[in-house]
Amino acid sequence: MPIQSSIQVIAFISSFIFALIIGPLIIPFLRKLKFGQTVRDDGPQSHLVKNGTPVMGGIIFLIPVVIMSAVFSVWYPKILPLTLVTLGCGVIGFMDDYIKVVKKRKDGLYANQKMLGLVIVATIFAFYLAQFTNLGTSIIIPFMSSSFILDLKWLFIPFTVIVLIATTNSVNLTDGVDGLCSGITLIVMVFFTLVAMTRGDWDYVMVFSALVAGGCLGFLAFNTHPAKVFMGDTGSLALGGAVAAVAIVMKMPLIILIVGAIYVIEAISVILQVGSFKLRGKRIFKMAPIHHHFELSGWKETKIVAVFYGVTVLLCIIGFIALRFKFTL
C-alpha cells in the first residue's frame, strides 16, 4: 500500500539528532567516571588497545528512544509497552555493566540473576499482550500465504517469553566488534519500519522502529572503528528487547530467524563451541562468538562488519519475500 505519511521519517531523524547531540556529553562523563571496558586477554590481540574505552554507551541511543517515545505516545499510546520492554532489558544490562566496571566483578550479574530479570520483563510483556490487547495468540508463518497463521493458544505466553529471552541474548552476543551490533540492528529496524508502513494499525510499530533505527545510526557515529564508546549490555539487551517486542506485536516472531539470522548464527556458534568443548574437549571455532573466529582468521574488524551488514541487507530482502511484501510507489 502507498506510504501514508512521513511521521516515520520525523521519528528517525529526531532520535538520530538526539543521539548525536548527547553522545559528546555522555562519553566524557563515562570516561570521567572511569566506566571503561576491560578486554579479555585471551581474545584477539588487536582488542587490547580498547582497554579503558567507555562502556554503557547504549544510553546514547536508549535515552533518545525513551524520551521521543514518550513524546510520540501522545498520538501513539501503544508505543509505550514496546518502550518499556526495551527500557526494562536495558536496565538489566545497565546493572550488569555497572557490576563489571564499578564492582570489578568481570562477569557482571550472575547468569541466573540476568536470566531472572529477563524472564520477569518477558513474562509481564507476554501476559499484557495476551490479556489486555486484542493481538490474539496467532503468529504469521513466513513464506506461507498471508492468510495462513498458526494459533498458539495457551502456548503464546511461554513462546513469547522464549522469543524475547533468546533474541536479547543473541543480540548481546553479536556485540563484540566496533559497529557490528548497532549497524545490524539499524538494518533490521528499518526492515520492520518498512513492513509496518503497509498497515494502518501498525502505525505505532512504524514510529517505534524508526526511533530505534535513528538512535542506532546516531550511536554509530561514535561506535564505528575505532570505537569511542561501547554500548555494553545496557545497549545490546535493550536492542534485543526492541527487536523481539516489535516482531511479536506484528505477529511475526519467526521472521527474526531470517532478518536476524546473524544474531542466530552468533548464538549458535557459542552453543556449538561450549557443547563441543564439554563433550569432546575440542573447540570448533578459534573463538566464539563467530565474529571473533573471523578476526583470529585474519579478517579486519571493518571487513567483518561490512560483510555482516551486506548479509543482513540480503536477509531483509529475503524477509520481504517471505512476507510476500510488495512496494507500491
Q: Which residue has the higher pLDDT, 325 or 309?
A: 309
CA atoms of 96 and 107, how far apart (whole Å): 8
Average pLDDT value for residue range 272-284: 93
Instruction: Please tell me the predicted confidence (pLDDT) of residue 1.
Output: 38
Q: Where would I find the H helices in 54-155?
A: 59-72, 79-101, 111-132
CA atoms of 260 and 246, how far apart (whole Å): 13
Please say if the pLDDT value at position 44 is more than 90.
no
| Domain residue ranges in the chain | 7-257
**Contact yes or no for 193/206 (Cβ under 8 A):** yes
313 Cβ contact partners less than 8 Å away, ≥ 6 residues apart? 187
Instruction: Please tell me the predicted confidence (pLDDT) of residue 326.
Output: 54
Query: Which grid coordinates belong to 68?
Result: 521521543
Instruction: Please tell me the predicted confidence (pLDDT) of residue 103.
Output: 79
* Half-sphere exposure (Cβ direction) of 46: Cα atoms closer than 13 Å: 16
Instruction: Please tell me the predicted confidence (pLDDT) of residue 82.
Output: 98
Average pLDDT value for residue range 255-273: 97
Task: List, in sequence order, every residue forming a beta bridge with 140; answer none if it has no partner.
Answer: 149
Quick one: pLDDT band at residue 78, thresholds 50, 70, 90?
very high
Asked which of 136-150, 153-167, 187-201, 293-307 is least confident by mean pLDDT, the reply is 136-150
CB atoms within 10 A of CB 203: 19
Helix pair angle (261-280, 301-322), 10° resolution: 120
Q: Which residue has the higher pLDDT, 37 or 222?
A: 222
Instruction: Please tell me the predicted confidence (pLDDT) of residue 100.
Output: 87
Considering the chain, what is the average pLDDT of its residues?
91
Please say if the pLDDT value at position 30 is more than 70.
yes
Instruction: Please tell me the predicted confidence (pLDDT) of residue 200.
Output: 87
Distances (CA, A) of 55 to 63, 68, 101, 152, 316: 15, 23, 8, 40, 29
Average pLDDT value for residue range 192-215: 95
Instruction: Please tell me the predicted confidence (pLDDT) of residue 261.
Output: 97
Please say if the pLDDT value at position 221 is more than 70.
yes
* Half-sphere exposure (Cβ direction) of 139: Cα atoms closer than 13 Å: 22
Please say if the pLDDT value at position 91 is more than 60.
yes
Please say if the pLDDT value at position 4 is more than 70.
no
pTM of the model: 0.93
* Residue among 298, 229, 243, 213 at smallest CA distance from 58: 229
Task: List, in sequence order, every residue forming a beta bridge with 138; answer none if it has no partner.
Answer: 151
Instruction: Please tell me the predicted confidence (pLDDT) of residue 209.
Output: 98
Average pLDDT value for residue range 226-249: 96
**Contact yes or no for 201/23 (Cβ under 8 A):** no
pLDDT digits (tens, 9 = 90+) for 119-148: 999 999 999 999 999 999 999 999 876 556
Quick one: pLDDT band at residue 35, thresholds 50, 70, 90?
confident
Please say if the pLDDT value at position 47 is more than 80.
no
CA atoms of 213 and 264, how far apart (whole Å): 20
